[in-house]
Amino acid sequence: MQTRVLVTGAGGFIGHHLVKYLKQKGYWVRGVDIKEPEFEPSPADEFEVLDLRRWDNCLLATRGVDHVYHLAADMGGIGYITAYHAVIASNSAMINVHMLEAARRNGAEKFFFSSSACIYPQYRQQDPDLTPLREEDAYPADPEEGYGWEKLFMEKLCQYYYEDYGFKTYVARFHNIFGPLGTWEGGKEKAPAALCRKIAITKLTGNPEVEIWGDGEQTRSFCYVDDLVEGVYRLMQSDYHQPLNIGQDRMVTINELADIIANIAGIEIVKKHVPGPQGVRGRNSDNTRLREVLGWEPQISLEEGLARTYAWIEEQVRQKLAREMDISSASV
Ligand code: NAD
Ligand code: GDD
């Protein structure tokens, strides 16, 4: 019989890519989100718009499925997650506690939870040239306020459900995921999408200045969404029930990230460093355990992933500028 899976957050960036991947693998897929996907229709067999903060909706969402990929969360880049600690932590806590228990009660066999590199202690990430983060570095805990604390608690809850009920939970810590069909404007976008947008605007309008929050010497690693989805799927086929990093282990500065994107766009830019939320000073993934557990690690280079992402975002910016021109010429 065809395996039935639920993807929550299926109206969002990673969830939508995951639905496409699972459909290609031949699964029957139910997508659930509080909104429809923004940029193209979902290929899910069923798509239900539900608010997963509510217990009754979590019971509905999890009915009759074998595997649950739980990605729904109140989520955004560093600008968003540092601005709304209370609302982010309480929204995601309600979603997560209800989803885990509803999946168990409805008899799901497996439950995946998307955690984050934001659970790693801030005291280990104060240097741009930091030692890459191993899974065991999570404790003593000092995660990102709000979003990070909530993710860390849910990691523990997944552990308790596995230990106390034998419910097969799987946890991955995502390290800054990017790609086409992700949020690229509006305040929730992360650095790769924000810089693609700003550089596309430079290319299309001719103003060479690109604003970068901070001095641009802060570091991160960035993982292309196709790799992430592959890693999540592989983890769900494994018998590994502790948190696992999924990310790239190539660390770059934000200035270098901007240079790579400008090179892809084929333009010269002038970086303008401005005050803005910066989060940790440095962050990178140690992929030793990922290689041991899955015999695999992300394959797509930063340049290749950014080329695909930039092309999509430049097109979004082009369309938006064209719409604005239409409106202003209609109003004269
Ligand atoms: P996203 O914001 O595009 O997707 C999250 C989805 O959850 C959204 O579509 C949103 O509408 C949905 N959602 C929010 N509240 C809901 C509710 N009450 N009921 C139902 N759905 C609701 O973000 P994403 O980048 O696709 O992230 C997916 C998951 O991966 C999240 O759990 C996120 O915390 C985690 N994660 C992502 C990254 C990254 O770099 N993108 C890094 C670490 C962890
Ligand atoms: N978003 C954004 N926009 N970041 C910028 C910009 C900009 O225009 N300019 C410079 N940056 C810098 C930020 O100051 C930060 O130091 C760095 O780029 C990375 O920012 P984000 O991509 O927004 O977030 P993050 O890496 O700090 O955290 C993200 O990744 C986590 C997982 O690794 C967030 O999305 C978290 O929610 C996520 O869990």
Ligand nearest to the CA of 31: 1
For residues 220-234, one letter each, b for 16 or more C-beta atoms within 10 angstroms of the residue's C-beta and e for the rest, the string is bbbbbbbbbbbbbbb
The answer to whether residue 170 is catalytic is: no
Distance (Å, whole) CA 57 – CA 119: 28
Q: Does residue 154 lie within any of the structural domains? A: yes
Q: Does residue 191 lie within any of the structural domains? A: no
Q: For residue 73, give every residue at least 6 positions away whose Cβ sits within 8 Å of its Cβ, in sequence order, or none.
A: 9, 91, 92, 95, 96, 114
What tens digit of pLDDT does each residue of 201-229 get? 999 999 999 999 999 999 999 999 999 99
What tens digit of pLDDT does each residue of 37-84 get? 999 999 999 999 999 999 999 999 999 999 999 999 999 999 999 999
Q: Does residue 317 lie within any of the structural domains? A: no
Residue 33 β-bridge partners: 49
If you search the block for the tokens 């609302």, which residue do you land on? 87
Using CB atoms within 10 A of its CB, is residue 273 exposed (0-12), middle (13-18) or buried (19+)? middle
Q: Does residue 134 lie within any of the structural domains? A: yes
Q: Ligand 1 — pocket residues by CB below 6 A? A: 9, 11-15, 33-35, 51-53, 71-75, 91, 95, 114, 116, 174, 176-177, 183, 190
* Total domains, the chain: 1
- Report in angstroms the alpha-carbon separations of 74 from 51, 85, 151: 12, 10, 11
Query: What pLDDT does residue 285 have?
Result: 98
The minimum-distance atom of ligand 1 relative to the CA of 92 is 15
Distance 115 CA to ligand 1 centre (A): 10
Q: Does residue 213 lie within any of the structural domains? A: no
Ligand nearest to the CA of 186: 2
Query: What pLDDT does residue 130 have?
Result: 87
Query: What pLDDT does residue 325 have?
Result: 80
Residues of the chain with pLDDT under 50: none
Query: What pLDDT does residue 332 have?
Result: 54
Query: What pLDDT does residue 1 have?
Result: 82
Q: Does residue 205 lie within any of the structural domains? A: no
Q: Does residue 74 lie within any of the structural domains? A: yes
Q: What is the DSSP string of 183-228?
A: --SSS---HHHHHHHHHHHHHHH---EEEEETTS--EEE-EEHHHH
Using CB atoms within 10 A of its CB, is residue 285 exposed (0-12), middle (13-18) or buried (19+)? buried
Distance (Å, whole) CA 47 – CA 30: 6
- CATH, residue 90: 3.40.50.720
Residue 272 β-bridge partners: 211
Q: Does residue 92 lie within any of the structural domains? A: yes
Do residues 157 and 104 lie in contact, with contact meaning Cβ atoms separated by under 8 Å?
no
By most ligand atoms within 8 Å of CB, the mutation choice from 190, 195, 245 for ligand 2 is 190
Distance 13 CA to ligand 1 centre (A): 7
- 119 token code pair: 């659970």
**Residue range of the domain that includes 53:** 4-178+223-246
